[in-house]
C-alpha cells in the first residue's frame, strides 16, 4: 500500500480553478468530504486517472481505483456520482454510450441510449398544420425517452471488479447527506427554477424558497432512496417496482407516455465499436445510434491526405480544410444516419476511401464552400448542451470513455415525483419532421424519424486512440452536434499540431454542421483567422463556449496525463 506521502508526490497539480467550502455535509461511508473539495485541472498519475465534469464524481471514481477496482469500476462510480452532483447532465433519467478497450485488448461499445416509448409515433410533435412544435419535444413529460443509464451501468458491470453496492455508495452518500454546490450549479438551478416548477408535478429538491448560492448544500433524499432501491434490487430496482411505478405515475400526471412495460423491456445493447486508423493511430469510436464515431471517421479521413500539421493550428488554411470536412460529414449525417436497428445506415460506403476522396473533390482552398451545393454524398443503392463526458484509464491499460446526457440542460426539467431524478428530453434528437432543426439546429430525415422502440440519433463521441496497439488518448466532450467536431479538433491538435494536452483541450474551438451554413467560433478564436475566413466567403457566428473536453493522454514512459476542461467545474483525479 502506498503511503499518502508517496501518492501525493505522484500527483503534479498544475492548476486549480476553485475550492468549495461550507457548512460541511457529514461524510458518508465512502469517506469523501462533499463539503470541501477542489477542482483540479491537470494531474500526472501512474496508477490510474479519472476526469469528469465534477470534482466529487472524479473522486468517487478515484476511490474505486484505490479500492482495487479497474477503469470500468471507476467509470461506473463516476457516473452514479454525476447523477447526484451534476444534475444538469449527469443522470439516471437519461442515457449514454460507453466505449472501452480492456487490458486484454477486447473492445467494447455499450449503447444505453434512450428509446422512444411504445406509444410514440412519427408525427407526435407536429401541430395541426404539420409543423414541428419544439416545445413539445423539449419540455416536460412527453419529451422523455425511456431512460437507459441504469441498464447501461449494469451492462458495464460485467467488465468491472467491485460489487455494484460499493460503486453506487458515494452517490448515495452525496444524495443522502448533501454536497456543497459550485457557483455554476447555483446559476443553473436558479436559471431553471421556473421550469422545474412548470414541468414537475411535485415539489423537488432543486427548488427552494431563496435563490441558490455557491456554497449552499443540496440534499436529495428522494434520489438517495431511489439509488438505494437500485443498490438493493439491482437493475429491477429502477425498471420495475417502486421506481417504475413512480415514473409511470409522473407520466400520467403530465400527459407523458412511458409505460411500465417500456421500462421493464428496456435493454442496453452491446455494439461492435467503430474502428479506423488515422496517420497510423487506431481510433475506436461509438457506432450507431450515435453519429459521433462515424462523423469522426469521415472527418479525419477526409483531411488525412493533406499535411494539416504544416498549415498550423487555427490558421485560415487549417480551419477551412477542417470546416469543409465537417460540412460534408454533417450533410451525410442528416441524410443517412439513424438507429441502425431500424434503418440501413451505409457505414461501409460512407467511410470508403473512394467515397471520401470524391467528397472532397470540389474542395477549394481559396474559397468558402456552400451547403446548398454540397448536399449529402451519393451512396449507390441506398433506399431509403447539455451532456457530459468522463474519461478513465488504469495502470493495467483498461481505457474507458463515457458520454451521457439528458439532452438539454436538466433535460425535460421534469423531476419524477417521489423518486427525485430528472427525466431526459431526448425525443428532440429525433427528426420530428424532415428538414426541421432540433435543439442543436441539426436537420434530419427519414433515417432518424420517430418510431416506437427506436433510439434517437446522437452526436456523442466517446473515443479512444491507440498508438502501437496501446492506449494513447481517452477523449470526449458534451456539446450536442459540436461533440464530434470538438473531438476531431482535439485529436488533430495533439496528433498533427503536436500541442500540449492542456492547449488541445482549452484553446478555442470552431464548428460547422452543414446547416446552418456558418462556422461557429468560440470566444478567443484568433481574430486574424476570422477575418481571413470572412474574406473567403464564410459566415461566422460567435459562441461563448464550445464543448468541455476531458482527455487522458499516455506520455512516453507510460505516465498518464489527465486534463479537465477549464470551461467548467471539470476536474481530474488520479494517483
Ligand atoms: N442529446 C445530444 C446527443 O445525444 O447528441
pLDDT of residue 8: 31
Mutate to test the pocket of ligand 1, among 111, 459, 462, 476 (most ligand atoms within 8 A of CB): 459
Give yes or no for a contact between 419 and 248, defined as CB atoms under 8 angstroms apart: no
* Cα separation, 244 vs 264, whole angstroms: 8
pLDDT-derived band at 24 (thresholds 50, 70, 90) equals low
pLDDT tens-digit readout, 67-87? 999 999 999 999 999 999 999
**The ligand 1 atom nearest the CA atom of 481:** 5
- Nearest atom of ligand 1 to the alpha carbon of 403: 4
Mean per-residue pLDDT, 140-167: 98
What cell was used for 146? 425511456
Q: Is the dihedral of CA 518, 519, 521, 526 positive or negative?
A: negative
What is the spatial order of strands in the sheet that 386-394 belongs to? 269-271, 107-112, 95-101, 399-407, 386-394, 48-52, 571-574
Q: What is the pLDDT of residue 344?
A: 96
Element (H, E) at 562: strand 560-563
In this prediction, residues 210-232 reach a mean pLDDT of: 98
Mean of the per-residue pLDDT values of the chain = 93
Residue 127 has pLDDT above 70, yes or no: yes
CA atoms within 13 A on the CB side of 211: 8
pLDDT tens, residue by residue, 471-480: 999 999 999 9
Q: Spell out the residues 6+ positions from residue 9 whose beta carbon is closer than 8 angstroms to its own.
A: none
CA distances from 453 to 113, 347, 382, 408, 555 (A): 11, 22, 23, 21, 43
So what's the pLDDT on residue 27? 56
135 Rama sector, left if φ>0, alpha if ψ -120 to 50, beta otherwise? alpha
Element (H, E) at 20: strand 16-21
Cβ(216)–Cβ(180) below 8 Å: yes
pLDDT at 386 over 80: no
- pLDDT band per the 50, 70, 90 thresholds, residue 388: very high
68/167 Cα distance (integer angstroms): 12
Share of the chain above pLDDT 90, in %: 90
C-alpha span between 175 and 225 (Å, rounded): 9
Mean predicted confidence (pLDDT) in 31-46: 95
Residue nearest (by alpha carbon) to ligand 1 atom 1: 407
Summarised one tens digit per residue, pLDDT across range 397-444 is: 999 999 999 999 999 999 999 999 999 999 999 999 988 888 888 888
Q: For the chain, how many residues are written? A: 575
pLDDT at 434: 84
How far is Cα 540 from Cα 517, in angstroms, rounded to an integer? 9
Residue tagged active-site, from 387, 388, 403, 549:
387
Q: What is the mean pLDDT of residues 271-300?
A: 98
Judged against a pLDDT cut of 70, whether residue 47 lies above it is answered with yes
Q: What is the pLDDT of residues 333-355, one digit of tens each?
A: 999 999 999 999 999 999 999 99
Assess whether 388 carries a catalytic annotation: no
pLDDT for 443: 87
Q: Are 481 and 330 in contact (CB under 8 A)?
A: yes
Pocket of ligand 1 (CB under 6 A): 387, 405, 407, 426, 429, 458-460, 480
| Three-class SS state of 395 | coil
pLDDT score at 11 = 34
Distance 6 CA to ligand 1 centre (A): 41
User: How far, rounded to the nearest angstrom, does the alpha carbon of residue 204 sit from its chain's CA centroid?
Assistant: 25
**Best probe residue, ligand 1, of 89, 138, 402, 407 (max atoms within 8 Å of C-beta):** 407
For 418, phi then psi, to 5°, come to: 80, -15
User: Are the C-beta atoms of 199 and 412 separated by less than 8 Å?
Assistant: yes
Return the C-alpha cell found at 454: 427506436
DSSP H or E segment with residue 177: helix 169-177
Distances (CA, A) of 221 to 29, 175, 282, 414, 423: 16, 6, 45, 17, 17
Question: Mean per-residue pLDDT for 489-510?
Answer: 98
The Cα–Cα gap between 497 and 74 comes to: 31
Residue 7's pLDDT is: 30
Measured at the alpha carbon of residue 189, what is the angle toward residues 86 and 241, in degrees to the nearest 5? Answer: 60
pLDDT given at position 537: 97
Q: What is the pLDDT of residue 439?
A: 85
Residue 381: pLDDT band by 50, 70, 90 thresholds?
low
Sheet holding 560-563, edge to edge: 42-45, 560-563, 550-554, 470-476, 463-467, 281-285, 274-278
pLDDT at residue 375, rounded to an integer: 75
Contact 278, 445 (CB under 8 A): no
Question: Measured in angstroms, how far is the CA atom of residue 257 from the centroid of ligand 1?
Answer: 21
H-run or E-run covering 332:
helix 316-336
Taking the whole predicted model, whether its pTM rises above 0.75 is answered as: yes
Q: Which atom number of ligand 1 is nearest to the Cα of residue 428?
A: 1
- Using a 10 angstrom Cβ sphere, with 0-12 exposed, 13-18 middle and 19 or more buried, the burial of residue 321 is buried
Pocket test for ligand 1, best of 287, 429, 486, 511 (most atoms within 8 A of CB): 429
Cα(378)–Cα(199) distance, integer angstroms: 43
Q: Measured from the CA of 113, which atom of ligand 1 is nearest?
A: 4
Supply the Cα-derived Rg of the chain in whole angstroms. Answer: 22
Q: Return the H-helix or E-strand segment holding 134.
A: helix 134-138
Distance (Å, whole) CA 202 – CA 527 = 49
Amino acid at each position: 500500500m502506498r503511503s499518502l506521502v508517496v501518492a501525493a508526490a505522484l500527483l503534479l497539480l498544475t492548476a486549480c480553478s476553485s475550492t468549495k467550502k461550507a457548512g460541511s455535509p457529514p461524510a458518508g461511508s465512502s469517506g469523501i468530504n462533499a463539503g470541501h473539495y477542489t477542482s483540479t485541472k491537470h494531474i500526472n498519475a501512474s496508477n490510474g486517472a479519472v476526469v469528469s465534469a465534477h470534482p466529487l464524481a472524479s473522486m468517487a471514481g478515484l476511490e474505486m481505483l484505490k479500492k482495487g477496482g479497474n477503469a470500468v469500476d471507476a467509470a461506473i462510480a463516476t457516473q452514479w456520482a454525476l447523477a447526484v452532483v451534476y444534475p444538469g447532465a449527469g443522470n439516471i433519467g437519461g442515457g449514454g454510450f460507453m466505449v472501452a478497450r480492456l487490458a486484454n485488448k477486447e473492445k467494447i461499445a455499450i449503447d444505453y441510449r434512450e428509446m422512444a416509448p411504445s406509444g410514440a409515433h412519427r408525427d407526435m410533435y407536429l401541430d395541426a398544420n404539420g409543423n414541428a412544435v419544439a416545445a413539445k419535444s423539449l419540455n416536460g413529460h412527453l419529451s422523455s425517452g425511456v431512460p437507459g443509464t441504469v441498464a447501461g451501468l449494469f451492462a458495464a458491470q460485467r467488465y468491472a471488479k467491485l460489487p455494484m453496492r460499493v460503486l453506487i455508495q458515494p452517490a448515495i452518500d452525496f444524495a443522502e447527506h448533501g454536497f456543497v454546490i459550485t457557483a455554476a450549479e447555483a446559476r443553473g438551478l436558479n436559471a431553471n427554477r421556473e421550469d422545474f416548477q412548470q414541468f414537475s408535478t411535485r415539489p423537488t429538491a432543486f427548488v427552494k424558497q431563496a435563490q441558490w448560492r455557491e456554497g449552499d448544500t443540496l440534499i436529495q433524499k428522494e434520489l438517495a432512496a431511489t439509488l438505494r432501491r437500485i443498490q438493493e434490487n439491482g437493475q429491477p430496482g429502477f425498471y420495475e417496482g417502486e421506481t417504475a411505478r413512480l415514473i409511470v405515475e409522473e407520466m400520467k400526471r403530465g400527459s407523458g407516455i412511458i409505460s411500465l412495460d417500456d421500462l421493464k423491456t428496456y435493454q442496453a445493447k452491446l455494439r461492435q465499436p467503430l474502428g479506423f486508423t488515422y496517420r497510423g493511430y487506431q481510433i475506436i469510436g461509438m457506432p450507431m445510434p450515435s453519429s459521433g464515431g462515424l462523423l469522426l471517421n469521415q472527418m479525419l479521413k477526409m483531411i488525412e491526405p493533406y499535411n494539416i500539421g504544416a498549415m498550423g493550428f487555427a490558421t485560415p488554411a487549417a480551419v477551412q480544410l477542417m470546416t469543409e470536412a465537417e460540412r460534408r460529414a454533417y450533410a451525410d449525417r442528416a441524410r443517412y444516419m439513424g438507429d441502425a436497428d431500424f434503418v440501413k445506415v451505409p457505414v461501409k460506403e460512407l467511410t470508403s476511401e473512394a467515397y471520401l476522396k470524391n467528397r472532397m473533390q470540389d474542395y477549394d482552398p481559396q474559397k468558402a464552400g456552400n451547403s446548398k451545393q454540397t448536399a449529402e454524398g451519393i451512396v449507390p443503392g441506398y433506399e431509403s448542451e447539455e451532456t457530459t463526458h468522463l474519461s478513465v484509464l488504469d495502470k493495467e491499460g483498461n481505457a474507458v470513455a463515457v458520454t451521457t446526457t439528458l439532452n438539454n440542460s436538466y433535460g425535460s426539467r421534469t423531476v419524477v415525483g417521489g423518486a427525485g431524478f430528472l427525466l431526459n428530453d431526448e425525443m428532440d434528437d429525433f427528426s420530428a419532421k424532415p428538414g426541421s432543426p432540433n435543439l442543436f439546429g441539426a436537420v434530419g430525415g427519414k433515417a432518424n424519424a420517430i418510431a416506437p422502440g427506436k433510439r434517437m440519433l446522437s452526436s456523442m463521441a466517446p473515443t479512444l486512440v491507440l498508438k502501437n496497439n496501446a492506449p494513447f488518448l481517452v477523449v470526449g466532450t458534451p456539446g450536442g452536434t459540436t461533440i464530434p467536431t470538438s473531438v476531431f479538433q482535439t485529436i488533430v491538435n495533439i496528433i498533427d499540431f503536436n500541442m500540449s494536452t492542456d492547449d488541445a483541450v482549452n484553446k478555442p474551438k470552431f464548428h460547422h454542421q452543414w446547416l446552418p451554413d456558418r462556422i461557429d467560433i468560440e470566444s478567443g478564436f484568433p481574430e486574424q483567422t476570422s477575418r481571413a475566413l470572412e474574406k473567403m466567403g464564410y459566415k461566422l457566428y460567435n459562441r461563448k463556449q464550445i464543448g468541455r473536453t476531458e482527455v487522458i493522454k499516455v506520455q512516453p514512459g507510460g505516465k498518464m496525463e489527465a486534463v479537465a476542461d477549464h470551461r467548467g467545474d471539470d476536474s481530474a483525479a488520479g494517483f
